[in-house]
A and B are shown apart, each in its own frame.
Chain A
Amino acid sequence: MWAIGRLRSSLRREIWGYGLTAPAAVLTVLATVAIIAFLTWKGLSLFFVHKVPLSNVFSTAWHPERPAAEGGPQVGILNFLYGSIVVSTLATLISTPFGIAVAVFISEIAPKVGQRVLQPVIELLAGIPSVVYGYIGLSVLVPFIRNHLGGTGFSLLAGVLVLSVMILPTIASVATDSLRSLSHILRETAYALGATRWQMIRLVLLPAARTGILTGVVLALARAFGEALAVQMVIGNIPNSPTSLLIPIITLTSGITMYMGNTVQGSLWNDALWFMGLILLITSFFFIILVRYVGKWGVAK
């Protein structure tokens, strides 16, 4: 009897273990499905409720407030999309060499200085909230650009510089991890063949770590693409095509930030913003797939 009682109580405990933990894990799936469903439904109302033709949406004419008599309203989102793509790509281009250099410095050049100084610095950079980056950009970078380079200062350039500092920690930490995980045999073999440290880094370590480094770059690009407030504070938020570094532009995220609270729910203007939200969601899936693809590409070689 005692044994059966014991068995029963341990069974009950096992059910507790499963019954508590599995639903919590399944909840993450439900949350993801809910986000996709809600944003798709709301994002597509631009087409289903307002019957806006695709040619209107995928144009650069953004006049959501213009009455029908004057040929409106026009909700062309292309300038928002261009803005997001250009600002995040340029920021990643600036940030990548610095991120890789920092990673090499920490793992190969001066590990002691790297781990005592540079690694905490990277962690602190990652910890500074994005609104603070935006504010410093607004109070230092924007006036500097206005006084020395021209324009109002609110510009693509300001957005690029702010973002490139913000995403540096992402590239640097992922690249550091992947360099650290490389076998010591690689280094010793290269040295044994008479390579200098730079040759060893350039010809052996960086190619061997390229999967990890590329993953870091894609993650940083994704972060830059999705960043909202820091960008909104410095780029000017005017729907221009990004043809010069010094003109104010707008991005998907900054447009949503600017207008979402000030437009009437269910209006055409408002639903155009929800469509931009849907594009952000789709883009983030694209980056997830890209990261997976890059990962596999490394394993296959």
Chain B
Amino acid sequence: MTAHFKDRLATLAFWLAAGVVVAVLAFLLGYIMFHGFKVIDWKFLTSEPETIKAGGGIGPNIFNSFYLLFLSLIIVVPLGVLAGIYLSEYAKENALTRSIRLSIETLASLPSIVVGLFGLLLFVTALGLGYSLLAGALALTIINLPLMVRITEEALRTVPQDLREASLSLGATKWQTIYKVVLPTALPGLLTGIILASGRILGEAAALIFTAGLTTPRLNFSQWDITSPTCPWNPLRPGETLAVHIWKVNSEAIIPDVRRVADGSSAVLVIIVLLFNFLARWLARRASFRLTGQ
């Protein structure tokens, strides 16, 4: 076997491997969409899930997913951005900085079920929040904090040093430079990262089983008393998200049309996640256009 022939063979093998990966994805997406589209209609998307009967929908679950996303973003974005600013603009190479970086690395590599267990101990039980959207949002905050910090650091690092120096030489303080010059310049990059993280948050389930819970009370969208358990906006009520619903109907539920509900829910979840990914991509392309003019 000549070296040239081996080279050809290897090239063929690489094309094959790449083809297999593309085929796997095509099959996965095709399967989800094909089965999902037979199920999805307006009634499925808006009606309440059933516990024993067939014919349930996923309306409250979709609402819970987005509301939980919103709740966790209003906590994790400020925290993550501030911590990211600290690391990229203020931190010196010392023990504190090293322990912060080690902590971020640790948090990033924790399995989400471990974070869920911690949430169950601290938020649900010790702080007395019970199974609630707030407890779920706090667990999601822990999962996404390291990602948010990294996104911020990376976005800030793409801001040219000249801009900072120009601002400082005009007499601005460091903090003025950061929030009037650096942050606005890094904003598109930050937004891209936040949207990507959002897609991940929407798909998370293991941590939420133990924190946000497996149930949703009957929601009344005309109830505006935020302390009422039927008020959709009450952060202290339990809320089963779409991703958790997919898991629950498959492993615990006794409804006769598990297949139908799971097919529809999976397709809706995947479509939402894909839309977030496309949005982030589009934004990233626009952002790089703005920065480089190409």
Contacts and interface: CB of A to CB of B under 8 A. Distances in A.
Interface of A: 10, 13-14, 16-18, 20-29, 31-35, 38-39, 42, 97-98, 101-102, 104-105, 109-110, 113-114, 117-118, 121-125, 127-132, 134-136, 138-140, 165, 168, 172, 196-199, 201-202, 219, 222, 225-229, 232-233, 253, 256-257, 260-261, 265, 274, 277, 280-281, 284-285, 287-288, 291
A257 B277 CA distance: 29
Given A31-B145, A38-B121, A127-B273, A277 B114 contact: yes
Contact of B269 (A32, A129, A165): A129
A212 to B, nearest CB: 17
B174 A226 contact: no
Given A132-B269, A134-B250, A228-B206, A118 B22 contact: yes
B15 A127 contact: no
B79 interface: yes
A225 B96 CA distance: 30
Given A129-B273, A256-B117, A280-B114, 13 more contacts: A21-B82, A24-B82, A32-B103, A34-B118, A118-B22, A132-B266, A135-B250, A135-B262, A135-B266, A219-B109, A256-B113, A280-B111, A281-B114
Nearest to A133: B28
Interface in B54-103: 78-80, 82-83, 85-87, 89-91, 96, 99-100, 103
Majority-rule SS of A interface residues: helix
Interface of B: 3-4, 6-7, 9-11, 13-15, 17-18, 20-22, 24-25, 28-29, 31-32, 78-80, 82-83, 85-87, 89-91, 96, 99-100, 103-107, 109-115, 117-118, 120-122, 125, 142, 145-146, 149, 173-176, 178, 199-200, 202-206, 209-210, 214, 243-244, 246-247, 250-251, 259, 262, 266, 269-270, 273-274, 277
